[in-house]
Amino acid sequence: MISDYLNRTLPSTEELPCSDDIPVDNEDRNFLPNVLLFLLSSMWADRFDWYFAADMAIYHTTGINPRVPVVPDGFLSLGVKRQKGGKSRRSYATWEENEIVPTITLEMVSHTPGNEYDEKMEIYAKLGVLYYVVYNPEFWLRDRHQPFEVYKLGADRNYQLQIGEPYWMPEVGLGIGRCQCVFNGIDRELLAWYDRTNTRYLMPEEVAQQERQRADLVQLQADRVQLQADRLAEQLRALGIDPDI
């Protein structure tokens, strides 16, 4: 009865801010989560039971006020529709998503510390987020942590640091880790998804490049066969033999 009353009095996402209006202090905090989204949109194009967002407010009832969101740099929810009511979401409220909380949240540490290792970790643990990923490529020595860390929520509702990279998440059917690759002509470190064998899922432009390389190789092999055939024909003609007969 109390939960029914609470649900009736909770605000709609139509009236809630889509974010916390705190500007990011580097472009990677928007760019890298969107790379993960871009990859998922290609990998899971035929699936409609997931939702990934970057820099979007998550509203929940496990904090001090349901109108006060937590805003990860990225999050993935499973078991929800990619569009809600045929429309794009403005924000994510757990009470409008059948109480489904994100399976993964991602925080990227920047020049300004954002309590990624304490306050936000506590919020996500209380919310029930299974995996908490912290990416800290520049300030990990300052913070006395590793550049890339994955935490998993235990039965005691506390996070435990996991070992291995890329790290395989069986509940998601994906691994996550870092990679060094060329994106839009720039060689840089990115976050990426991996399969069970630790093979990285390629971006569409990488797949297209591989296909072009395979096509070029096939054409090269065909050209070599034709060149050998032409040379043999010349040798036969030199011996007075018509190779076309």
Domain coordinates of the chain in residue numbers? 2-201, 202-245
Nearest CA among 157, 108, 128, 152 for reference residue 58: 128
Q: Quote the pTM value.
A: 0.80
> Pairing mode, if any, of strands 159-161 and 148-153?
antiparallel
**Residue 152 or residue 10, greater confidence:** 152
Displacement of CA 24 from its chain's centroid (Å): 19
> What is the Cα–Cα distance from 206 to 179, expressed in whole angstroms?
13
pLDDT, residue 136, reads 96
> What is the Cα–Cα distance from 21 to 76, expressed in whole angstroms?
21
Find the range with the poorest average confidence among 152-161, 172-181, 222-231.
222-231
Per residue in 5-14, pLDDT tens?
A: 455 578 887 7
> What is the Cα–Cα distance from 216 to 211, expressed in whole angstroms?
9
Q: What is the CATH class of 2-201?
A: alpha beta
Confidence category of residue 23, pLDDT binned at 50, 70, 90: low
Average pLDDT over residues 167-188: 91
Confidence category of residue 167, pLDDT binned at 50, 70, 90: very high
Query: Residue 24 has what DSSP assignment?
Result: P
Kindly tell me the sign of the dihedral angle through the C-alpha atoms of 144, 150, 154, 157: positive
Per residue in 43-67, pLDDT tens?
A: 999 999 999 999 999 999 999 899 9
Q: Which helix (H) or strand (E) holds 78?
A: strand 74-78
